[in-house]
Amino acid sequence: MIAPARSPRAPSLVLGFLAAAALLSACDAPEPPASLPPRTPVELRRTARAARNLPTDTAFASEVRAAFLHAWTGYEEHAWGHDALRPLTRGWRDWYDTTLVMTPVDAYDTMLLMGLDAEAERAKELILERLSFDHDMAVQVFEVNIRILGGLLSAYQMDGDRRWLSLATDLADRLLPAFASPTGLPYVRVNLRTGAVEGNENNPAEIGTLTLEFGLLSDLTGDRRYYDAVKGAVSRLFAQRSSLGLVGSVIDVENGDWLDLDSHARGGIDSYYEYLLKAWLLFGDEDFRAMWEASRDALNTHVAHEVDGRFWYGQVDMLTGERTGTRFGALDAFLPAVLALGGDLDRAARLEESVGFMWETFGVEPESFDYTTMEIVRPAYPLRPEAIESAYYLFVLTGDERWREMGKDMFHRVVAATRVDAGFAHLGDVRTGEKDDAMESFFLAETLKYAWLLANPSALDFDAVVFNTEAHPLRSVP
Ligand code: DMJ
């Protein structure tokens, strides 16, 4: 379907010749498949709107700001220019052979929202000086998309500097070859310089969580190739759903065959659902609305699970609906936010109550536990944001202070359990408090951003943005 030829555009060209380049790309690109109707971006269509005039919790806000500064100072002192801080050994980590300056790109919009102008300026200088995508290395399309492309696009929409858009376009052009499979479903990894692809066994989350970033780039550049590639992939994935309306965990992008029939809303599928809803909201594309509503209904019918009065989402076989597992954990806690954004405040609240129960039971949430036995399956806590993110959504959408209190309590538990001298450290085991030498960039991009917005909801107009799955606020292009 999409012929993903990489554009040779240099950043400087984009500044002056964006319109001409877009025209050229449009001429080079094949006709979009007939199944992709023309699309007109519209204003955000909210099914649920933020409560008005929510007060700031000043004391909470200064605690979150102090935590952010502590984490950022650790990065500046020990990992400057690299992807991530190693907070225990005061070192750094790069994901690939060359840095993608991941923590600053991921953290930049949080700094702007917190009013940390000096830190933001230093981060921006570093990124613009060091960040280049012209490297002979294979990267994971999903992670680079949500953290780097998402970060660049939100930076552009927040401060208006077109150098962000230039970087974003260069990156997306280098990621496009990932869609050159026989089905249009993207491969897992792509070489940024050569366009060589790797990994034909992909999952719905990694396939479906490209839509907002690529789609918005189409709107910003006028080049439809990005939108058509992601919509084509998501439409194909949706078409592979079972008669129950469910998707599995692993699919072969070369032939569309399911390789793992386990269906759930956890890591591996989670943000596929999230982006169906958010693509509809951001782009006003009714096809995404239809895919979201059908998927949500299937999830609520077959995957939701009431046990002893508590509400969870577990695992089932995508073909039969037979229950295959009763595990839940930190990543699953994204779902109350998505349900709330989709207007289902009742299920959202019930599930977030279960999330709160998970924190009370274990002190800090584990990666995975069995909700029928309350036994931990995977005991780590890598500074994840989802539970606080959902508390934020419920707070802004209902105005009910109990959600802010719940999120604040989670934030306090995280700080107490993970703060070390040079930053914040992952927990290897929430039972023992044993720490791992890592501080993921999403701690600054997401966990602390959602905590900040929970404390200070007027810092951002919730109704004017759609957060990508890495908490980068994106705005639709009129
Ligand atoms: C982030 O990179 C994103 O939120 C993603 O959707 C899931 N994993 C991490 C946070 O837990």
> Could you tell me the distance, in angstroms and rounded to a whole number, from the CA of residue 337 to the centre of ligand 1?
13
Rounded distance between C-alpha atoms, residue 213 and residue 128, angstroms: 20
Give the nearest ligand 1 atom to 382 CA: 11
Domains in the chain: boundaries:
54-94+326-470, 99-303
User: Do the domains 99-303 and 54-94+326-470 match in fold?
Assistant: yes
For 395-407, the pLDDT digits (tens) are 999 999 999 999 9
Sequence length of the chain is 478
Known catalytic residues are 143, 270, 367, 386
Alpha-helical segments (H) within 363-434: 386-398, 401-418
Query: Helix (H, G, I), strand (E, B), or coil: what is residue 19?
Result: helix
The residues that bridge with 139 in the sheet, in sequence order, are 190
Rounded mean pLDDT, 57-67: 98
Nearest protein Cα to ligand 1, atom 11: 384
What is residue 323's predicted lDDT score, i.e. its pLDDT?
A: 98
Distance from Cα 86 to the centre of ligand 1, integer Å: 19
Local confidence band at 40 (pLDDT 50, 70, 90 cut-offs) = low
Ligand 1, atom 6: closest residue by C-alpha: 469
Ligand 1 center from residue 382 Cα (angstroms) = 10
Spacing, Cα 230 to ligand 1 middle (Å): 19
From the CA of 386, give the closest atom in ligand 1.
11
- Contacts with 321 (C-beta within 8 Å, 6 or more apart), sequence order: 244, 246, 302
Q: What is the mean pLDDT of residues 195-205?
A: 98
User: What are 424's strand-pairing partners?
Assistant: 419
Q: How confident is the model at residue 29 (pLDDT cuts 50, 70, 90)?
A: very low
Per-residue pLDDT tens digits for 223-252: 999 999 999 999 999 999 999 999 999 999
175 closest CA partner among 209, 130, 203, 204? 209
Query: Which atom of ligand 1 approaches the CA of 274 most closely?
Result: 6
Instruction: Say if residue 108's pLDDT is above 60.
Output: yes
Interacting residues of 290 by C-beta distance below 8 A, sequence separation 6+: none
> What's the pLDDT band for 51 if we cut at 50, 70, 90?
confident
Question: Mapping DSSP to helix (H, G, I), strand (E, B) and coil, where does residue 93 land?
Answer: strand
CA–CA dist 49, 471 (Å, integer): 18
- How buried is residue 128: exposed, middle or buried, by Cβ count under 10 Å (0-12/13-18/19+)? middle
Tell me how far the alpha carbon of residue 366 lies from the centroid of ligand 1, in angstroms: 15
Which tokens belong to 419? 């703060």
User: Residue 27: which residues within 8 A CB-CB, separation 6 or more?
Assistant: none
- Name the average pLDDT for the chain: 92
Q: What residue has token string 């929510």?
A: 54
Of residues 73, 77, 123, the one with CA closest to residue 102? 123
- Residue identified by tokens 């792509």 is 190
Atom of ligand 1 nearest to the CA of 330: 11
Q: Which of 384, 410, 414, 441 is the pocket-test mutation for ligand 1 (most atoms within 8 Å of CB)?
A: 384
pLDDT for 49: 86
CA of 442 to the centre of ligand 1 (A): 7
- Residues near ligand 1 (Cβ within 6 A): 146, 271, 331, 384-386, 442, 446, 469-470
For a ligand 1 pocket test, name from 147, 439, 470 the mutation site with the most ligand atoms within 8 angstroms of its C-beta: 470
> Which among 386, 390, 410 is the best mutation to test ligand 1's pocket, defined by most ligand atoms within 8 Å of the CB?
386
Residue nearest to atom 2 of ligand 1 (CA): 470
- Count of CA atoms in the C-beta half-sphere (13 A) of 75: 31
Average pLDDT over residues 340-354: 97
Per-residue pLDDT at 9: 27
- Ligand 1 center–CA 331 separation, angstroms: 7
pLDDT of residue 2: 31
Stretch 383-389: mean pLDDT: 99
Whose tokens are 């959602």? That residue is 450
Q: Report the share of the chain in percent with pLDDT over 90.
A: 89
pLDDT of residue 38: 55
Measured CA to CA, the distance from residue 100 to residue 466 in angstroms comes to: 24
Q: State both tokens at 190.
A: 């792509």
> What pLDDT does 41 receive?
52
Residue 169 has pLDDT above 60, yes or no: yes
From 143, 209, 210, 331, mutation site for ligand 1 pocket: most ligand atoms within 8 A of C-beta: 331
- The number of helices, as runs of H, and strands, as runs of E, in the chain is 18, 20
Q: What is the pTM of this model?
A: 0.92
- The class that CATH gives domain 54-94+326-470 is mainly alpha
Q: How far is the CA of 334 from the centre of ligand 1 (A)?
A: 9
**pLDDT of 352 over the 80 cut:** yes
CATH code for 99-303?
Answer: 1.50.10.10
Give the per-residue pLDDT at 52. Answer: 85
Closest CA to ligand 1's atom 3:
470
Nearest-angstrom CA–CA distance, 328 and 343: 23
**Counting atoms of ligand 1 from 1, which one is nearest the CA of 209?**
6
17 confidence band (pLDDT: 50, 70, 90) = very low
Alpha carbon distance 147, 155 (integer Å): 12
Confidence grade of residue 45 (pLDDT, cut at 50, 70, 90): low
More confident residue, 388 or 47: 388
* Residue given tokens 């830190």 in the structure block: 119
> Quick one: average pLDDT of 123-150?
98
Residue 164 CA to residue 154 CA, distance in Å, equals 9
